[in-house]
Amino acid sequence: MIPVDPLTLLAFIPAGLALNLTPGADMMFCLAQGLRGGPRAALAADAGIALGALAHALAAGIGLSALMAAEPRLLDAIRWLGVAYLLWLAAGALRGGVIRNGGAPAPSPGRAFRQALLVNLSNPKVILFVLAFVPQFVEPARGPVLTQFLIFGALLALGGLVVNGLVGVFAGGLGRRLTHSPRLNRALGLTTAAIFTALAARLALMNRT
């Protein structure tokens, strides 16, 4: 038996794509990394976020996410770690701008990947989203629940990979053209820091319910 009913997939794909197209923390993070490090850093960050989405689906499938959602203090600890990390990234962008020709270097693709993965994994809103959205399409009678979670998680990750990647590459091309001007370079650094700070504030003010 096929783990997921084809009709269920037909319902899930457009719903997941609509969610991927909604501007959120992942999209804004790829935008910021594109401005700082160019298209390669943006795509690396995009891959880190996609891997994080798969990790969340895996955790939800084996019950870890449900455990964390049932324990508010654990979710709060994860949330505040995410806030602190985003503020640290904002401070780095504020100090270094997006300079590529000397000065503070832009993040390498490897570093952008790790940062994106950590930001995604430390966002409890993603945990709650996976628990609220994906189970609506899971049918235990069709096969292992974990397999179905992974299939749906992979589809969400793939949609995000395309959408966030396009946003990041566009921002990377724009940032690369603008960094020839020191003033614009500084402005891009301030913009990137503002994005990271806004993401931190959004996470800090997030309701647990």
Distance between start and end Cα atoms, the chain? 37
pLDDT surpasses 50 at 66: yes
Q: What is the pLDDT of residue 100?
A: 47
Q: Is the CB of residue 35 less than 8 Å from the CB of residue 168?
A: no
pLDDT surpasses 60 at 209: no
pLDDT surpasses 90 at 77: no
For residue 46 the two structure tokens come to: 């995009």
Residue with the two structure tokens 């979670």? 149
Mean pLDDT of 59-74: 74
pLDDT in tens, 8-17: 888 888 888 8
Q: What is the pLDDT of residue 178?
A: 59
Q: What is the dihedral of CA 20, 120, 154, 111, to 10 degrees?
A: 110
pLDDT surpasses 80 at 91: yes
If DSSP states are collapsed to H, E and C, what string results for the chain? CCCCCHHHHHHHHHHHHHHHHCCCHHHHHHHHHHHHHHHHHHHHHHHHHHHHHHHHHHHHHHCHHHHHHHCHHHHHHHHHHHHHHHHHHHHHHHHHCCCCCCCCCCCCHHHHHHHHHHHHHCCHHHHHHHHHHHHHHCCHHHCCHHHHHHHHHHHHHHHHHHHHHHHHHHHHHHHHHHCCCHHHHHHHHHHHHHHHHHHHHHHHCCCCC
Rounded to a whole number of angstroms, the CA Rg of the chain reads: 18
Burial of 127 (0-12, 13-18, 19+ CB in 10 A): buried
Interatomic CA distance for residues 142 and 165, integer angstroms: 33
pLDDT surpasses 60 at 105: no
pLDDT in tens, 155-205: 999 999 999 999 988 887 766 665 556 676 677 677 778 877 887 887 788
pLDDT in tens, 19-38: 788 777 888 889 888 887 88
Interatomic CA distance for residues 57 and 60, integer angstroms: 5
Interatomic CA distance for residues 12 and 149, integer angstroms: 12
pLDDT in tens, 122-164: 887 787 778 778 887 888 778 788 888 899 999 999 999 999 9
Q: What is the pLDDT of residue 182?
A: 66
